[in-house]
A and B are shown apart, each in its own frame.
Chain A
Amino acid sequence: MLRLIAGFIGKKAIRLLTLLAAVSVISFALVNASPVDPVQAYIGADVMRVGPEQRAEIAAYWGLDRPFPERFLKWANALLHGDMGTSMIYREPVVKVIGERFLSSVWLMALAWTFSGVIGFAAGIAAAMRKDSWIDRLIKGFCYTLASTPAFWIGLLLMMLFSVWLGWLPVGLSVPAGVLADEVILLDRLRHLILPAVTLSVAGIAPIALHTRQKLADVLESDYILFARARGVSGLALIRRHGLRNIALPALTLQFASFGELFGGAVLAEQVFSYPGLGQATVEAGLRGDVPLLMGLVLCSTLFVFTGNTLADFLYRIVDPRMRAGKGMIR
């Protein structure tokens, strides 16, 4: 068993390294080919006061005048030594920017991830237990609607309803404007977190609910449920004893595999609510050609999504006794 897990982790580590290398090269090339001029983006409104000589100086200072391979190798070399560079727009070390942003994003994503998981799973079970009843149709309809609705649009709707019309929750940002950092209390942070988190979780509910519903419906029609009923197991005990056991693993796997969508959703949700997290930083870095920050974010999100998928794989292959015993199946 331990050898199995060690092998699993070893193979995954090699895959991660090759993946990160490939992502680095491709992202760097893409940024290089992008029409955004970092110098122009940096100067912004001061465009009239900056002459061509000064521009050239700024470009030289950032090393933008060097050819692409040289710049990439320099960046990669620094990265291998633990230096991710300095963000052009925030003028702070990339590690620090990402660290701060990650902290606020991680709460948002964790909350949304838990919400969507718990609500989706519960809704899926409810729908499957009363399959073809009005509650099943309601949940199914709700899920189809959610699945075909863009998250940012839901975000805008929620903002209009709860912030603008009802005035219950703040319109955006992660803390109240005009308040000193020391005076911000936890409740303020939470109030700012609610709408982005709800927006982000709404997108994740539909897949998990529909998947759980289908899986449980299949389980309930299986021979082993028939036999359990013949042995006197019924109602909720049937779901507890045989249902949950057989749907928990697929649901968890799906939930961990959704880290990619979670991150993608966070970019949109944070943008809508001006929530200063990783997603918003990514948009900024992209629009203003901040190569070091963008590269840092790309690597960071790759790691994040990869972790989610690996956990999903791990659950699927090692926790399921059938897969664990069929060792040949672990690649």
Chain B
Amino acid sequence: MTLLEVKDLSISFLHYAKGSRRDKTNVVDGLDLEVHEGEIVAVVGASGSGKSLLAHAVMGILPKNVLVSGDVSYKGERLDAARLKRYRGTEIALVPQSVAFLDPLMKVGEQLHAPADGREQAAERRTLFQKLKLSRQTEKLFPFQLSGGMARKVLFSTAAVARTRLIIADEPTPGMHESDVREALARFKSLAEKGCGVLLITHDIEAALRIADRIAVFYAGTAVEIARAEDFSGSGEQLRHPYTKALWRALPQNGFEPLKGAGQASGPAVELGCPFGSCCGSATGRCAEGKPEPRELRGGWVRCVHAS
């Protein structure tokens, strides 16, 4: 069953330019994405490519000066304000990236217990704490007293209760030690095995490949390619988009080729043609004519006119 369906999602910021002219900056542009039950979909892209905004848009917690268009559906129903209110924090859960997302003046135990939680969730969380090797004492600590590892476990435990169907994990492995990364990823994998859909947002393509079923590659605010995890192999012949291929070959074990266009193109060129066009080795005149529409290709999706 399809849990999350994002269709043609665009997010733009309104800000005042010179004088009273209002400018619009597109951050996410025409994004399509699906997450099914028991599936892990990784969204991979450089910092500033709009990945976190996608998470916030799904949760309905974008700031006020942001324009959103397109559709976000959950279990086939449009996620409007009323449905968001029903599902947010119950069936749909966000796992944030750092301890800064916890109230600094509230003890962990008190904080974990959201207003929507009942006794059942409290009991579940106690078992979960034991499983995660967090002592009972942890509940009495303030966030600033948590170590990095404890904090991530605590953040994970906010979401990992039985009623959660869809988990959106925003950068769950930033700058972590290898063994910690493996541990954190294994936790999400185990949730997916129980039937949860997981949207894993990360800039770490290697981490994503280890557990994800499908990978959405983000570039300049949109998914340029959605590939199966097994497509990332060899020298990337199975991959569809030039950016994905470049990303794959930039990894140390795959040739370590410098990545062009990592700085995210923007400006008029982006508005008109393929956003990757200026950095793409195989760009032709057709690439500048218009934005490539997403098309299905070999069991995935790609936004490139040349891909075959």
Point out residues on A near B: beta carbons under 8 Å.
221-224, 226-234, 237, 241-242, 245-246, 249, 320-322, 325
Compute how far the CA of A227 lies from the CA of B55 in the bound complex, rounded to whole angstroms: 11
List the 9 closest pairs (A to B, CB-CB), nearest first: A232-B89, A227-B101, A231-B89, A230-B94, A230-B59, A231-B114, A232-B116, A224-B103, A223-B101
* B115:A245 contact, CB within 8 angstroms: no
Q: For A233, what are the chain B residues with a Cβ–Cβ distance below 8 Å? A: 89, 114-115
B85 contact set on A, CB distance < 8 A:
232, 234
- Restricting to B94-133, which residues have a CB under 8 Å from any CB of A? 94, 96, 98, 100-106, 114-116
B61 and A230: CB pair below 8 A?
Answer: yes
Q: Please, how many residues of chain B have a CB less than 8 angstroms from a CB on the other chain?
A: 26
20 contacts between A and B (CB under 8 A): A223-B98, A224-B101, A224-B102, A224-B104, A226-B101, A230-B61, A230-B88, A230-B89, A231-B88, A231-B158, A232-B88, A232-B90, A233-B115, A237-B115, A242-B103, A320-B105, A321-B142, A322-B142, A322-B144, A325-B144
Decide: A245 and B106 in contact? CB cutoff 8 A.
yes
Chain B residues near A232: list those with CB within 8 A: 85, 88-90, 114-116
Q: Does B198 contact A (CB under 8 A)?
A: no
Q: B103 contacts which of A230, A245, A320 (Cβ < 8 Å)?
A: A245
Q: How long is the Cα–Cα vector from A242 to B103 in the complex, in angstroms?
A: 7
- Give A224 to B103 CA distance when docked, in angstroms: 5
Contact A325 B145 (CB under 8 A): yes
List 19 additional A-B contacts (Cβ < 8 Å) besides A227-B94, A325-B144. A224-B100, A224-B101, A227-B102, A228-B103, A228-B114, A230-B59, A230-B88, A230-B93, A230-B96, A231-B93, A231-B94, A231-B114, A232-B85, A232-B114, A233-B89, A246-B103, A246-B104, A321-B142, A325-B145
CA–CA, A223 and B170, complex, Å: 13
Query: Which residue of chain B is the closest to A326 with respect to CB atoms?
Result: B144
**Contact mask B134-171 → A, CB, 8 Å, 1/0?**
00000000101100000000000010000000000000
Main secondary structure of the interface of B (DSSP, over half): loop
Report Cα–Cα, A234/B84, bound state, in Å. 12
Which residue of chain A lies nearest to B90 when distances are taken between CB atoms in the complex? A232
**A contact patch SS:** helix
The answer to whether A229 touches B61, judged by C-beta atoms less than 8 angstroms apart, is yes
Task: Choose among A228, A231, A234, A241 the residue with the greatest number of B CB atoms under 10 Å from its CB.
Answer: A231
Residue of B nearest to A237 (CB): B115
Say whether B56 faces chain A, with CB atoms less than 8 Å apart. yes
From A229, A231, A245, give the contact of B105 (CB < 8 A). A245
- Which residue of A has the minimal Cβ distance to B106? A245
- In the complex, A237 Cα to B144 Cα: how many Å? 23
- For B98, the chain A residues whose CB sits under 8 A away are 223
Q: Bound state CA distance, A237 and B90, in angstroms?
A: 17
Bound state CA distance, A212 and B56, in angstroms? 27
**Chain A residue contacts of B56, Cβ below 8 A:** 226
Max count, chain A CB within 10 A of own CB: residue among B56, B94, B100, B105:
B105
Residues of chain B within 8 A (CB-CB) of A322 are: 104-105, 142, 144
| Bound CA–CA A246/B102 (angstroms) | 12
Q: Which residues of B contact A222 (CB under 8 A)?
A: 100
Q: Which residues of B contact A246 (CB under 8 A)?
A: 103-105
Cα distance A115–B204 in the bound complex, in angstroms? 55
What residues of chain B lie closer than 8 Å to A228, measured between beta carbons? 103, 114
C-alpha gap A184/B158 in the complex (Å): 63
In the bound complex, residues from chain A placing their C-beta under 8 Å from that of B88 are 229-232
